[in-house]
Structure 1
Amino acid sequence: MRIEYHRTLIADQVRNEAFFAALKAVIVPGKTVVADIGAGTGLLGLMASKLGAKDVFLFETAEVAGVAASVLKANKAKRCHLIPCHSTEFQDKLAVDIIVSETLGNYALEENIIATLADARQRFLKPGGKVIPDGIIQYVAPVVTARIDTELRAWERVGHGLDLAVAQTMSLNNAYVRALQPADVLDGCRSAMVWDEIDLTSETRSKRRGEAEWRLPRAAKIYGFATWWKVELVPGIGFSTGPLSPRTHWEQLYFPIAAPIDADASDVISIDLRSSSSEDAGTRLAWTAVHKGAKGKVLVRHAHDLDKGYLP
């Protein structure tokens, strides 16, 4: 059981305070019924109970459900009901006013939050009920420092006349969780663009695709791309995992490219990002970077796919 992982969640005050504020904004003491999906050690469910929820149903399928049961007992949380299964497996009738789920990853969708909330919304949520979070925005920006790129190209520096190019190619077909600084990103993150917007309150697809494009105001060397996300829990309350935002336990993702791009002023850099997530197949990511000259001629195209970099 990854209790250390759950400790990092509990230690994340940015996350915790945002969820507490969101729950406080929508819970009517003595009336509101809440479903906490992916409850972990039970923190959000306990918050809802403390804020006066009439009943709280906590869904948790992992081993940590045993910890949650003890935590609920220790806190004498009589209005909290632990259901030790995945919410999609629960077949009994349930009618709630609020669904809350913190099933977000460094890549926002890697824990299948879209499909999980869609199922819960359709089967459990009362008319007029609320979903927390209600939306996610995903950002992308070019990376202009060599730090992570140099790390990933260790295969090229092994020496002794050895060729490890095959392994090098696999390394560059993976996405990496890294903490980026504003200085690592083009124009100190001011260049960040939205590549995907997700409405979790209505029907939406787990397969995502988006693109972004930059016409460079000055010459730059592009080593890869960084992505991060911003979540809205309820209107006016949320947080971001971006380099300019208060630090959370989440970090950014770094998407490598086959070779750094030397771009001149007025050249165009673009990236096309694709993802699909499911409980059975996990998360697949693919990305294509294109460098065009000032007049639109394609100079370089780098296509990458996580399936080409993964080893079981």
Structure 2
Amino acid sequence: MINGFRRKRLSRHREITVPVALGDPDDRLTLWASPGEYPVYDSYDYDYMAEDKVCESAYESALREVAAGRTVLDIGAGRDLDWATLALEYGALEATAVEGMESTARLARKALEKSPYRDRLTLLHSWSTDLETDRRFDLCVSEIIGSIGGSEGAAMALADAHARLLAPGGVMVPHRCVTLAGAVCLRDLVPDLAFHPESLPYLDRIFDSTGHPFDVRLLLSHSTPDAVTTDHAPVETLDFAEGAVIEAEETAELTVHTAGRVDGILLWINLWAHPDDPPIDALATETAWGTTYLPCFDQPVAVRPGDRLTVRFGRTLSDDGRHPDYRVRARLDTVSGTHNGAFLSTHHGEVFRSNPLYEELFSLR
């Protein structure tokens, strides 16, 4: 069990202290900094993703249906070239794997040297959006999906791939991703508001990658549907088969079904690898995709069944041209009145300690 927390300095950003869970933090909800949007992957991450049997089963089912006889482009191929390799196993003619992170590309080269398909598998160290080629592929496969579906840049990268790199009649895997939202109270879910101790190196590396500290997106471990006090609705819809919309605003109308408190929203994905298969539900099933918490109100608001929360969730490209910034505007109508809130979640902006939650999480000496 977690038994409180202690504050600890970050090793490379020593002016910042954060609360860290004590005891065994793996048996209940804890906080992590969301690492997927940044070049901070290590062997632990790849091992963890390799153990995600839910994701593996969904992609395997899709590639079994569509890979045979096709040429394949694997975007964000990763350390082990999993999906390019699996496509070749299921009869693809040849595959080109693209990996933008240099450290990962080095590891992928070692995997390629050992691959039984190395005569039909090409590895390119590049971002897919930087590829300059007239070639068109019959199948594009990728796993650049974040805990908020588009947070790792999937909308931009896969819209570009659909427009420039996919042959007419070509297939996109995954087919579709929807990010859902439901209302929660973080301070009730995590009474000892503290980071998992293993998340601290990621915080250091994320801040290194951006050049400054900022209000990172927060992942909640071990979330389950009973954490949510409302029904849920989509706030980000990415149809890769049609060419995802890069910038948009979607509105969710949520109704409280359980009395309690609300201070923000929990976000999770439903991902269809193939249109005829059931989606991966990252809240109902334990997968490598976590759930993301975004604050809406500075203090928790008491709610009862029938109260209404309107969430306007917008995404715009950040100045790196790849990753989105997200803006939340919320209106909570209760018997005590109307409560308005807002939050800007940037990919790498300099917004830091912007509200009471982040002031509590990050202290400056």
Tell me the TM-score normalised to structure 1 length: 0.82
Q: Which amino acid in 2 is paired with 1:181?
A: T
Q: Which runs of 5+ in 1 are unaligned?
A: 155-170
How far 1:95 sits from its partner (Å)?
Answer: 2.1
1:262 corresponds to 2:297: no
Q: Distance in 2 between matches of 1:303 and 1:12?
A: 34
Please report how far the alpha carbon of residue 130 of structure 1 lies from its aligned counterpart in structure 2 after TM superposition.
0.5
Q: Secondary structure at the match of 2:294?
A: strand
Counterpart pick for 2:60 among 10, 14, 20: 20
Shift of 1:215: 3.8
- Residue 105 (structure 1) aligns with: 146
Count of paired positions:
287
Aligned to 1:161: none
1:164 match: none
Which residue identity lines up with residue 56 of structure 2 in the other structure?
N
How many angstroms does 1:85 deviate by?
1.2
CA gap 1:73/1:265 in 2 versus in 1, 3 angstroms: closer
Q: In structure 2, what is the Cα distance between the partners aligned to 1:289 and 1:271? A: 5
Counterpart position of 2:356 = none
Distance 2:329 2:239 in 1: 25
8 Å contact 2:183–2:264 — kept in the other structure?
Answer: yes
Structure 2 gaps of 5+ residues are 1-40, 196-212, 354-365
Q: Taking structure 2 as the reference length, what is the TM-score of the superposition? A: 0.71
Contact 1:230 1:241 in 2 (8 A): yes
What's the offset of the Cα at 1:219? 4.1
Displacement after TM superposition at 1:172 (Å): 12
> CA shift at 1:230, angstroms?
0.7
Separation in 2 of the partners of 1:111 and 1:98? Answer: 21
Residue of structure 2 in register with 1:45 after alignment = 84
CA contact (8 A) 1:213 1:269 kept: yes
2:210 matches 1:210 = no
* Letter in structure 2 aligned against 1:51: Y
CA distance in 2, matches of 1:289, 1:86: 35
Correspondence for 2:156 among 115, 132, 147: 115
Indicate the RMSD between aligned Cα atoms, in angstroms.
2.7
User: Do structure 1's residue 132 and structure 2's residue 173 form an aligned pair?
Assistant: yes
Please state how far the C-alpha of 1:264 moved relative to its aligned partner: 4.0
- Cα distance change on mapping 1:23 and 1:298 into 2, 3 Å: same
Inter-partner Cα distance in structure 1 for 2:160 and 2:154 = 10
Secondary structure of 2:87's partner? helix
Identity of aligned residues (%): 21
- CA displacement 1:230-275 (0-9 Å, x = unmatched): 1111212354343222x11111011222111112443322222222
- Which of 255, 262, 267 is 1:222 aligned to? 262
Change (3 A) 1:174 1:268: farther
